[in-house]
Amino acid sequence: MRDNSKFVGYLFEVAWILPSVAIPIVLFVSVVITAFAVGIRVPTDVGRVDPQALAQTAPFDNPGIREMAPGVYEATVIAQVFMFTPNSIEVPLGSKVTFTLTSRDVVHGFKIEGTDVNGMVVPGQITKVTATFRRPGEYLIVCHEYCGGGHQAMFGKVIVK
Amino acid sequence: MVAESADRFSTEKRLAAINIIIAFAALAVGGLMGVFQVLNYNNIDLYPAVKPVLPGGYYQGLTLHGVLNVLVFTTFYIIGFLTFIFAKSLDKPLVSPAMGWATLGVMATGLLLAAVPLLLNQATVMFTFYPPLKASSLYYIGLTLVVAGTWLLLLNMVLTRNAWLKANPGKKTPLAAFMAITTMAMWTIATIGIASEMIFLLIPWSLGLVAGTDVILARTLFWFTGHPIVYFWLLPAYISWYTLVPNHAGGKLFSEPMARVSFILFLILSVPIGIHHQVADPGISEAWKLVHATFTFVVFFPSLLTFFNVVASLEYSGRKRGGKGWLTWIFSLPWGKPEFTTQVVAMLLFAFGGIGGLVNASYNLNLVVHNTSWVSGHFHLTVGTAVALSFMGITYWLVPYLTGRHLWSRKMALTQAWLWFVGMGIFSHFMHELGLRGMPRRTMIGGAPYVLDNWKLLLPFTMIGGLLMFASAALYYFNIIMTISAGKKGYNEPVPFAKALSGPEDTPAILDRFTPWLAVAAVLILTNYGPTLFNLVTNARLNIPGLSPW
């Protein structure tokens, strides 16, 4: 009787432990597939820039949007307290836009609502994030990192026509 | 009997009492700031009314909310509770009471130093103090002292356990004492990150000894500590859930060996996963971000072990009390006992916190939620409920134990627990949802020009939740103050340690040792952090001057 109840106990433990191992494995596989097969990537190490020399350093000497190929754009944006330069970016519907970002002063955030774009904007570092805009309208860009007393006023927009 | 133990453990009891009083004093102010924030979310601005004491307004209040709640409340409570529970579990006072007082002395000095710039609006940089936001050097020095004080407790515990092992050859360290040391060992390793950030980067920079700082290096050192700190908060609650709650429930712990395995896994795995907080950071390769995300999934395993073990203990208790059926045994648990109910409802909300945590850790999925109010919703379930509500639940027996007075009102305590559960459930649900709709965290939403219509619909619910929690906290403080001042005398219960169904006799010796596991922890830290830190340190450029723009 006692042995039997012990055996049932082991069954319960195994029934719990197998999913406990399986769930993390499934999550890992999902992450790898979505990152490297579907292409939803995170910001990575793409180099440094001297925040005191932005005016002399390409592409930050000329912030704004540039068409690199039909439907492919590169947007250079500088963050500083409490604004983005430029703070409004207009692209045609279906454009693929790579944002190249840095900060002039403290750490800022760059999140475009309704997209996968979410990156930290750090003085001394370059952040690259990419989005394809498949529906028309205005997309809100918010600074989502506390950057000082005017943080709540730091935003911008992407206009897709 | 209590009189005798009161003498032997008088130092530990006094240390616990003082630490817990400091902790709850901090939580009172920090919690009040939380109410100010949800009101601001709904365009009710109370900050002008308190301008003389809070010149920095919203962000100074938010900094106080974070620093007081997750740094001061947690750390002081944990040090007090672990000092006490360690000594009682071992049935041996700390070998050095002087070192025990020094722990408190160093921590309290640090707190006072940090409090000055915090209150003067010279450290409005949040509890994460990300450079190059630049606070007064006193803030960094004070926080460093608070951390350094905690290291003394580990030293004291190790010396005490060694003396105990000598006097009790061949015996295994009692479970709660083992878990207390494991927690402090994990924490001490983890704080190498924040201590290095403070000593090598932030303190010299804020004193003007160096002109600038390296932001990514500082952030990486911060998160070396910043992730394991969540286990430093959580493990003391786990200690209570494993070693005390089964007794509150009227039963036993299901398995002591399994509990030890889970704590050893936390010791090994808590630290080498911190970069999953930096998924959105530049300057760190995506490969290492993926490695840390993967190891974070692994650390989910000991949490699931804890879930199984604690729920199995509760089921055993429910059935022992006459409960039947697959799930209906739940109704046979002692829901009228405040110290039980408070901690079990904390566990219920924690389950959702754990699931949300998996989303946060999931590498690219993190991009959906990073730095949105989802994250605030998440940690209000974890540190704000699993930890804070459990810590309140513990005081429902610990305050009577320390004062010899019965809890003033059990009904009020039960109401408090369920109010917190409902209030936090509402608040946190809508914070998660607002985050999915893109609302940023740590932002004075009441003053933001860009609030979207689909946020406006949900913001009132954060206020409802917040006010319910405020009511819950008011009941808590009233009840505890009444207990201390007017509770019925004659509380005479021992510390309610639970026995185990499968206890020390089933525990292999390796589960009572530290050296092999510390070696594994060191190897994992070196492999997971070594290359990134080596790269960041050798390429460090202290050229970012910093700013105090508040």
In which band, very low, low, confident or very high, does the pLDDT at A1 lie, cut at 50, 70 and 90? very low
Is the reported ipTM for this assembly greater than 0.90?
yes
Query: In the prediction, which pLDDT does B382 show?
Result: 97
Averaged pLDDT score across all residues of chain A: 93
Interchain contact, B367 vs A117, CB within 8 Å: yes
Query: In the prediction, which pLDDT does A3 show?
Result: 59
Which of A23, A45, A129 should one mutate to test binding to chain B, selecting the residue with the greatest count of B CBs within 10 A?
A: A45
Interchain contact, B298 vs A42, CB within 8 Å: no
Q: B329 is written with which tokens?
A: 């045994």
Which of B67, B313, B367 should one mutate to test binding to chain A, selecting the residue with the greatest count of A CBs within 10 A?
A: B367
* Rounded distance between C-alpha atoms, residue B462 and residue B469, angstroms: 11
Q: Is residue B313 a contact partner of residue B246, using CB atoms and an 8 Å limit?
A: yes
B261 vs B5, higher pLDDT: B261
Q: Which domain holds residue B424?
A: 7-538
Which chain A residue has the Cα nearest residue B365?
A: A31
- In the stretch 113-152 of chain A, residues with CB closer than 8 A to chain B read 113-114, 116-120, 122-128, 140, 142-152
Question: Does B518 reside within a domain?
Answer: yes
Query: In the prediction, which pLDDT does A9 show?
Result: 74
Query: In the prediction, which pLDDT does A8 show?
Result: 79
Question: Does B127 reside within a domain?
Answer: yes
* Rounded distance between C-alpha atoms, residue B274 and residue B192, angstroms: 13
Q: Which of A95-99, A102-106, B300-304 has the lowest mean pLDDT?
A: B300-304
CATH code, B185: 1.20.210.10
Question: Does B550 reside within a domain?
Answer: no
Collect contacts of B247-250 with beta carbons under 8 A, ≥24 apart. B247/B496, B247/B497, B247/B498, B247/B499, B248/B334, B248/B337, B248/B339, B248/B340, B248/B343, B248/B397, B248/B496, B249/B313, B249/B314, B249/B317, B249/B318, B249/B333, B249/B334, B249/B340, B250/B317, B250/B320, B250/B321, B250/B334
Which chain A residue has the Cα nearest residue B359?
A: A27
A101 has a pLDDT exceeding 90:
yes
A22 touches chain B (CB under 8 A): no
Question: Does B547 reside within a domain?
Answer: no
b vs e for A29-52, b when ≥16 Cβ sit within 10 Å of the residue's Cβ?
Answer: eebeebbeeeebbbbbbeebbebe
How far off is chain A from B218, nearest CA to CA, in Å? 12
B93 has a pLDDT exceeding 50:
yes
How far off is chain B from A127, nearest CA to CA, in Å? 5
Q: Is residue B191 a contact partner of residue B234, using CB atoms and an 8 Å limit?
A: no
Question: Does B96 reside within a domain?
Answer: yes
High-pLDDT (> 90) share of chain A, %: 86
Query: In the prediction, which pLDDT does A75 show?
Result: 97
Q: Domain count for chain B, please give it.
A: 1
Question: Does B549 reside within a domain?
Answer: no
Which of B450, B453, B456 should one mutate to test binding to chain A, selecting the residue with the greatest count of A CBs within 10 A?
A: B450
Q: Is A83 helix (H, G, I), strand (E, B) or coil?
A: strand
Question: Does B290 reside within a domain?
Answer: yes
Q: What is the pLDDT of residues B170-214, one digit of tens each?
A: 999 999 999 999 999 999 999 999 999 999 999 999 999 999 999
What residues of chain A lie within 8 A of the CB of B313, using their CB? Answer: none
Q: Is residue A135 a contact partner of residue A108, using CB atoms and an 8 Å limit?
A: no
Mean pLDDT in residue range A40-52: 94
* Rounded distance between C-alpha atoms, residue B335 and residue B191, angstroms: 39
A4 has a pLDDT exceeding 80:
no
Candidate from A41, A48, A107 with C-beta closest to B130: A107
A106 touches chain B (CB under 8 A): yes
Interchain contact, B443 vs A146, CB within 8 Å: yes
What residues of chain A lie within 8 A of the CB of B67, using their CB? Answer: none
* Rounded distance between C-alpha atoms, residue B543 and residue A34, angstroms: 37
Which chain A residue has the Cα nearest residue B438?
A: A113
Q: What is the pLDDT of residues B16-57, one digit of tens each?
A: 999 999 999 999 999 999 999 999 999 999 999 999 999 999
Positions of B marked catalytic: 227, 231, 378-380, 441-442
Q: Which of A118, A138, A114 is closest to A41 using CA atoms?
A: A118
How far off is chain B from A139, nearest CA to CA, in Å? 11
